[in-house]
Amino acid sequence: MSADTLLDFQNVTMAFGGNKRNPDGVVALEDLSLSISADEPSIIAIAGESGSGKTTLARLGLAMVKPTAGRVVYKGQDLWSMSSQQRRDYRREVQAIFQDPFAVYNPFYTVDRLLLTPMRAFKLARDRKQARKLMEEALEKVGLRAAEVLGRYPHQLSGGQRQRIVVARSLLLQPKLIVADEPVSMIDASLRANILTKLKQLRDEFGISLLYITHDLATAHQISDKILILYRGRVVEVGDATTVIQHPQHPYTQLLVSSIPRPDPAKTWEGRVEIPLEELSAGGDRAGCLFRHRCPHVMPECAKTPDDYAGAYGQTVACYLYRENGAPATAQ
C-alpha cells in the first residue's frame, strides 16, 4: 500500500440481496480497482448508463455500504476498520455532493445553520465571529454574496444558489476529496457550466480531488482528467478523459460517445444510436463479456471474460479486439 494514495478501491465487488437461490444477488459492481492520488489533485469521471453501478461506487467510497469483496482504503486504512480518530478525519476530508443536495437537509434550517453545523461538529472556528468570517469567505469563493443568502431557507433560494451553497459547505471543511454523484443533472444548462467551472476551481485553487459521477460524457470531457467507463458493474475502458472520449476503443464506449448530442443544433441527434434497454438489468448470467449481446464485433471468444488490453491511444480496454496489443503499459 503506497502512502501517496488517498482513496483506493481494491478489487471491489458489491452485490445486493444475495439469497440461497441466487447467491450472487444483483451484482452492482464487480472487481473494480481505482486509485485516487494524494499528491496530485485530479478529477476522475465515472460514466455509464443507468444501472451501471455509478452510485454504488460513490456509496462505497463514502462508507455508506460495505463491499461484498475487496477493500476500500483511505490513506492506507480500510474504511471498515478505522480508529475513531481516523474515521473522524476521513469524515471531514471526504465530502459528498448528491443530485439534489438539499433533499437531505432539513427544510426548516436556514443557510446559516447548514453551514455552522459542520463547523461546530469539526470545531473549525474559535468563536461566532470567526465562524461568520469563514462562512462569508466560503460563500464568496463560490460566487455568492453572504447578504444574499444568509438567513434564508432552502425554498427561498434558486437551484443554482443551493448547489453553490453545498459546494461552499464542502469548502468550509477543506476536504481532500469530493464525491459528486450527478451534481449538475438537476440544474438547467445555463447554470451547469458555472457549477462545473467551480468544481474545476476546487482542484486548481484548493487542491481538492473530485470523483465526478455522471451519465453525461460531454460534461465529463469538459472537466475530467481521467475517465472510467462502467458497463453493468464492470470497467470496460479507463484512461485519460480526452483520449477516451475522442478515441473510444471499447465498442460500448464507442456507442456512448456516438450518443453525445452535438453542439450544432441542426446535427443534434445525427449519428445517435439508441441503446436498447433490455440488457440493462444487472442480474443474470455474468460469464463472458457482458456487452457481447449488443456488440457489432462479437467473436466466439467473447463468451469468456476478456482481460485488460492496451488501447491504441494509451487507455486500458477490456475487449478482445485489442488482444494483440497485450497488457496495458501502466496500471490504471
Ligand X SMILES: Nc1ncnc2c1ncn2[C@@H]1O[C@H](COP(=O)(O)OP(=O)(O)OP(=O)(O)O)[C@@H](O)[C@H]1O
* C-alpha pair distances (Å), 227 with each of 181, 217, 219, 285, 321: 14, 9, 11, 27, 20
Are the C-beta atoms of residues 209 and 201 closer than 8 Å to each other?
no
Q: Which of 55, 161, 209, 315 binds ligand X (CB under 6 A)?
A: 55
Residue number with CB closer to ligand X (22 or 156) = 22
Task: Say if CB 181 and CB 213 are below 8 A apart.
Answer: yes
Region of residue 67 (phi > 0: left; psi between -120 and 50: alpha; otherwise: beta): beta
Which one of Mg ion, ligand X, none is in contact with 132 (Cβ closer than 5 to 8 A by kind)? none
Cell numbers standing for residue 299: 467473436
Cα separation, 256 vs 216, whole angstroms: 9
Query: Exposed/middle/buried for 61, CB within 10 Å: 0-12, 13-18, 19+?
Result: buried
288 in Cβ contact with 303 (< 8 Å): yes
Question: 244: closest CA among 181, 316, 295?
Answer: 316
Residues 56-75 that bind ligand X (CB under 6 A): 56
Minimum distance from CB of 299 to Mg ion (Å)? 32
Nearest approach in angstroms of CB 252 to Mg ion is 18
Give the nearer residue to ligand X in terms of CB position, either 75 or 232.
232
Would you say 166 or 282 has its CB closer to ligand X? 282
Considering only residues 78 to 97 of the shown chain, the ones binding Mg ion according to CB under 5 A are none
The answer to the question of residue 250 lying near ligand X (CB under 6 A) is no
Residue 214 C-beta: closest distance to ligand X, Å: 9
- Among 54, 192, 221, 234, indicate the residue that binds ligand X (CB under 6 A): 54
Among 10, 52, 209, 249, interactor with ligand X by CB under 6 A? 52
Positions 277 through 316 that interact with ligand X (CB under 6 A): 282
Size of residue set near Mg ion by CB under 5 A: 2
Which of 86, 52, 85, 50 is CA-nearest to residue 230?
A: 52
Among 6, 7, 12, 28, binds ligand X (CB under 6 A): 28
From the list 55, 219, 315, 316, which residue makes contact with Mg ion (rule: CB under 5 A)?
55
- Longest C-alpha distance within the chain, in Å? 69
The residue ranges that bind ligand X (CB under 6 A) are: 16-17, 26, 28, 48, 50-56, 215, 282
The residue ranges that bind Mg ion (CB under 5 A) are: 54-55
